[in-house]
Structure 1
Amino acid sequence: MTTWLPDLKSGDGPLYVRLAGRIEDAIETGDLPSGAKLPPQRNLAFDLGVTVGTVSRAYSMVRERGLVSGEVGRGTYVLERPDDEIRPATTVRHVPAAPTGDRLQLPDAAIAMTSTAAADVGQGGLIGEIIGKTSVESGYAGIDYIRSVPRSWQEAGSLWLGHGGWSPDPLLVIPTLGVHAGIMAAIAAISTIGDRIAFEELCYPATPRAVSMSGRRVARLKSTPDGIDPEDFEHVCAQQHPKAIVLVATLNNPTLGTVSEENRVRIVEIARRYNVWIIEDNIYGGMKDDAPTPLASMAPERTFHLNGLSKSVSAGLRSGWISCPPGTLTRVVNAHRLLTGGAPFLLKETAARLVLSGEAARIRSRVRQIIARRTRMADDLLSNANPDVEVRSDPDCPFIWLTLPDPWLPGTFGKAAREAGVVVDGADEYKIGAINYPCPNIRISLTGPLSDAKMERGITALADLLSSPSLNFDSLE
């Protein structure tokens, strides 16, 4: 264990802010290198002469900055940095995975099962043709930023966002640089610095981190196998008064939680009673024909509904759409422009043509076929590897959520997988702060740049690990 001990005598602000700053400085200078374990909170509090609460708040702050990860019973560890040298596995005591979106450069031979971008079904050639044709036909607009939003882009967005018999008014739809940019634009449009934004405590981490960086505060909602619990949502609304809730109501990333029709009605009722905006990310739900009713169809006056092309057609097009509640569209347009610097006409026009021609839907159908086939194969291999393995999957979802059998923990399993040439995401990647219950899970992605052959080799390697009772776990700590 590290003997690092910070000096809090100098500096501005509360003690917990100073301590968080000292931890960040130590990580920058290498005094706390990648993989280093921070002192236990009670020990550090005693050594510094501060309360455990002060240390806990500091640890939470650096965790939200994406610098460390922690799990109950294991401690808090410094995450690897993109520019860190990858050391031989035998010399590393603990190697947590890098945060999503900030990954290490991996060896070419590694099988990275971490991306949920659309699988390759040959769409690149078609997209290239459309881009070329669009560039020629658009004249100067083809090499410019967006100056205005054509009605065709709004109609394409309404078509792509529509689900289960519902579709938004095209006049309330605008294109975005992907779903993440649209969510941030909505948050900027309806909140201000200091406001709380509620997220499920296990979710795609980039968005709550971006929210924290923007000066908003994150409120956590308990994760359940069926998505957020309405009772917990009401408790958070009554106690913390969030301005908005951001949720993936269908196929949450990473748990695959899907909110039932009954609970959707309750969530909408609570949001209305406490005057909370709803930001509904349907990036995975849009892949399912039989997904539950969108929240936007239940509460159009307060729901921002988003979907894009990244998981089903092409991540490289950076294209999505957001439907806005009446009276908010202009604010979202301005916020999106200020946050992103402006979107390229060429990509937005290409995305609209793909959707309006029906080609986007046909590509999505082929991508779903690949996901369904790979899901069946992964389910069979992993479930048969160990009777104590729990595999949560869906034939339309490009990842699975695996509950590890004892004595595996996400950190030790991730390290063993990496030594076997496979990279997966542990539960730590998706936690918003500390979670007060065991979370022995990993997320395994089935799409991205993986070929069928590489994907099968990766799943087979993971299954071999799960079926190896003689593995020396002590050597992995």
Structure 2
Amino acid sequence: MTNWLPNLSNGTGPLYMRLADHIETAISNGELAAGTKLPPQRNLAYDLGVTIGTVSRAYSVVHERGLVSGEVGRGTYVNSRHTPTPSVHIGQAANTSNAAVSAAETKQLSKLDTTAAPTVGQGVLIERHLSDIMAERAAQVASYARDFPEEWSIAGARWLAQNGWTPSPENIVPTIGAHAAVMGIIGAVTSPGDRIAFEHLTYSQISRSAALAGRRIALVDSDENGIIPEDFERVCAQQHPKMIFLMSSGQNPTSTTLPLERRKAIADIAHRHNVWIIEDNLYGAMCRDDIPLIAQLAPEQTFLVGSLSKSVAAGVRGGWVACPPHFGTRVRTAHKMMTGGLPFLLAELCARLVLSGDAHRIRQDCIAEVNAREQMVRQIFSGLEFNSNPDIAFVWLKLPEPWLSGTFRNAARKEGILIDDEDEFKAGRSEKVYHRVRISFSAPNTREELARHLHTLRRLLDNGSVSYDSMA
């Protein structure tokens, strides 16, 4: 075993990435020779003054780079390297051959890392509407979408309606899906340098995109009932965010739903501190709860976002924003500037799906399929701890000992299954460790195929001592 100890004050980025890069550098320059045993995680964490989770994640990264391997009961050792293979870091592009291999490998893996709408025969209806559009509106399809027909906004208002409340069509903006909708809102009402508040765990692609656009991230604590109003108040008082992004129902990845009291409290805090609210209702549109939306409680400061991705067809890429009064034009302009504009074919297809009632019928079929699959997950994962909602196509699973989140993700990948570890959902740098993974179940074509994958994961979970070979 080596007495090697890196200096993490050198370098940039998260501590675990700094540590991983230091390990790779030490291996490359011979400081850590082939066969060298790395320090035990707990010892190195103590010597560096970091959490064991930081060291575990760093070791996981260098294991993925092929630099080390673990042996149960013996430790983690530096691999022999006959031909140096450059690693790909954040911000660097992989070379063409590596990218092709990665793409080919991923294509063969079973995707339990996506929550897109399950296949329930919607292709037939979508094909019919596309054929009608091409027959009736070929000239518009061949050109840019310069006008926004009233039907597009009426469809959006109908799709975003919930529990007896319907937004006004005049405040609706059609968008290229929910992600583009959120970025359009951010571009419309915030400026570079402004802070946007997120829960520690959330749909992190939004926080990463916001950071790329020059916005700063503020993190708000949550518990088993969702975002904690008192901590949101603290963040507002100390960091003065311009906006907060949240999912009030079916939160991704925890599946929690905010109680009415918290929704009212968050709306009140946002009002007092002049904070805009983005309410992402993609999963909420699938849930069968009767709690009013925050957009209904505070329409003057809330942007409500919805799309067809989880409940009709993700590939259609259609969505809508219900804006506070007089903000529609600003959001529409920002959305166009950030995306290049709305394709006529996409917007017309989404409107026809909704106004014909086909989108609603597909959503009901998707919910029924998700219900059946969620019951299957409950049976196969019986005895394990996890969060779920019968109408949402994922579970937030607490890993039994000795599994770590990244390690279990890697073990699942070796079995040909893609899942998401907890780091995928962290909105910013956080030392919080949850020991959880998100397992989605809408992608497999059949329930039988899904059952095979779930049984494989259950076997891994129950035999951690046998399969836990990437850490030691």
Output the TM-score relative to the length of structure 2: 0.82
Taking the TM superposition and a 5 Å limit, the aligned residue runs for 1:279-428 are 279-383=278-382, 387=383, 389-428=384-423
Measured in 1, the distance between the counterparts of 2:3 and 2:123 equals 49
**8 A Cα contact 2:411 2:468, kept in partner:** no
Counterpart in the other structure of 1:430: 425
Structure 1 residues 409 and 469: CA distance shift in structure 2, 3 A: closer
Instruction: Give 1:408 deviation, angstroms.
Output: 1.4
Residues 355-400 of structure 1 show CA distances to partners (whole Å, capped at 9, x for unaligned) of: 00000000011111110000001111112xxx4x202111110111
Counterpart in the other structure of 2:187: 188
Question: 1:118 is paired with a residue of what secondary structure?
Answer: coil
Instruction: Give 1:163 deviation, angstroms.
Output: 0.6
Measured in 2, the distance between the counterparts of 1:191 and 1:32 equals 43
Instruction: Give 1:271 deviation, angstroms.
Output: 0.5
Instruction: Give 1:405 deviation, angstroms.
Output: 1.2
**8 A Cα contact 2:113 2:419, kept in partner:** yes
Question: 1:307 is paired with a residue of what secondary structure?
Answer: strand
Match of 1:445 among 435, 440, 444: 440
Counterpart in the other structure of 2:455: 460
Measured in 1, the distance between the counterparts of 2:189 and 2:317 equals 24
Measured in 1, the distance between the counterparts of 2:391 and 2:372 equals 10
Measured in 1, the distance between the counterparts of 2:334 and 2:255 equals 30
Residues 65-90 of structure 1 show CA distances to partners (whole Å, capped at 9, x for unaligned) of: xxxxx94562436869xxx9999999
Residues 70-114 of structure 1 show CA distances to partners (whole Å, capped at 9, x for unaligned) of: 94562436869xxx99999999989xxx99xx9953355432200
Output the TM-score relative to the length of structure 1: 0.81
Find out whether 1:74 has 2:73 as its counterpart.
Answer: no
Counterpart in the other structure of 1:113: 112
Taking the TM superposition and a 5 Å limit, the aligned residue runs for 1:260-271 are 260-271=259-270
Measured in 1, the distance between the counterparts of 2:425 and 2:3 equals 26
Measured in 1, the distance between the counterparts of 2:429 and 2:284 equals 27
Instruction: Give 1:133 deviation, angstroms.
Output: 1.2
Instruction: Give 1:449 deviation, angstroms.
Output: 4.8
Structure 1 residues 408 and 212: CA distance shift in structure 2, 3 A: same
Letter in 2 for 1:340: T
Instruction: Give 1:242 deviation, angstroms.
Output: 0.3
Residues 244-272 of structure 1 show CA distances to partners (whole Å, capped at 9, x for unaligned) of: 00001111110112110011010011011
Aligned length: 432
**8 A Cα contact 1:72 1:437, kept in partner:** no
Counterpart in the other structure of 2:84: none
Measured in 2, the distance between the counterparts of 1:333 and 1:327 equals 11
Measured in 2, the distance between the counterparts of 1:2 and 1:119 equals 52
**8 A Cα contact 1:172 1:326, kept in partner:** yes
Measured in 2, the distance between the counterparts of 1:185 and 1:470 equals 47
Measured in 2, the distance between the counterparts of 1:135 and 1:162 equals 29
Measured in 2, the distance between the counterparts of 1:88 and 1:122 equals 46
Structure 1 residues 470 and 163: CA distance shift in structure 2, 3 A: same
Measured in 2, the distance between the counterparts of 1:457 and 1:109 equals 15
**8 A Cα contact 2:70 2:469, kept in partner:** no
**8 A Cα contact 1:200 1:220, kept in partner:** yes
Measured in 2, the distance between the counterparts of 1:128 and 1:158 equals 24
Counterpart in the other structure of 1:19: 12
Name structure 2 gaps, 5 residues minimum.
33-37, 79-88
Measured in 2, the distance between the counterparts of 1:451 and 1:410 equals 27
Taking the TM superposition and a 5 Å limit, the aligned residue runs for 1:118-197 are 118-197=117-196
**8 A Cα contact 1:250 1:291, kept in partner:** no
Residues 202-255 of structure 1 show CA distances to partners (whole Å, capped at 9, x for unaligned) of: 011110000001011011111322110000000000000000000011111101
Taking the TM superposition and a 5 Å limit, the aligned residue runs for 1:55-70 are none
Measured in 1, the distance between the counterparts of 2:77 and 2:209 equals 31
Name structure 1 gaps, 5 residues minimum.
8-14, 57-69
Structure 1 residues 32 and 179: CA distance shift in structure 2, 3 A: farther
Counterpart in the other structure of 2:247: 248
Instruction: Give 1:421 deviation, angstroms.
Output: 2.3
Residues 333-361 of structure 1 show CA distances to partners (whole Å, capped at 9, x for unaligned) of: 11000000011101100110000000000
**8 A Cα contact 1:202 1:431, kept in partner:** yes
Instruction: Give 1:201 deviation, angstroms.
Output: 0.7
Residues 181-218 of structure 1 show CA distances to partners (whole Å, capped at 9, x for unaligned) of: 11111111111110000011101111000000101101
**8 A Cα contact 1:243 1:277, kept in partner:** yes
Structure 1 residues 85 and 233: CA distance shift in structure 2, 3 A: closer
Letter in 1 for 2:245: V
Question: 1:285 is paired with a residue of what secondary structure?
Answer: coil
Instruction: Give 1:329 deviation, angstroms.
Output: 1.1
C-alpha RMSD of matched pairs (Å): 3.7
**8 A Cα contact 2:316 2:350, kept in partner:** yes
Structure 1 residues 362 and 331: CA distance shift in structure 2, 3 A: same
Letter in 2 for 1:407: P
Instruction: Give 1:175 deviation, angstroms.
Output: 0.4
**8 A Cα contact 2:199 2:227, kept in partner:** yes
Identity %: 39
**8 A Cα contact 1:224 1:257, kept in partner:** no
Letter in 1 for 2:130: I
Measured in 2, the distance between the counterparts of 1:330 and 1:276 equals 20
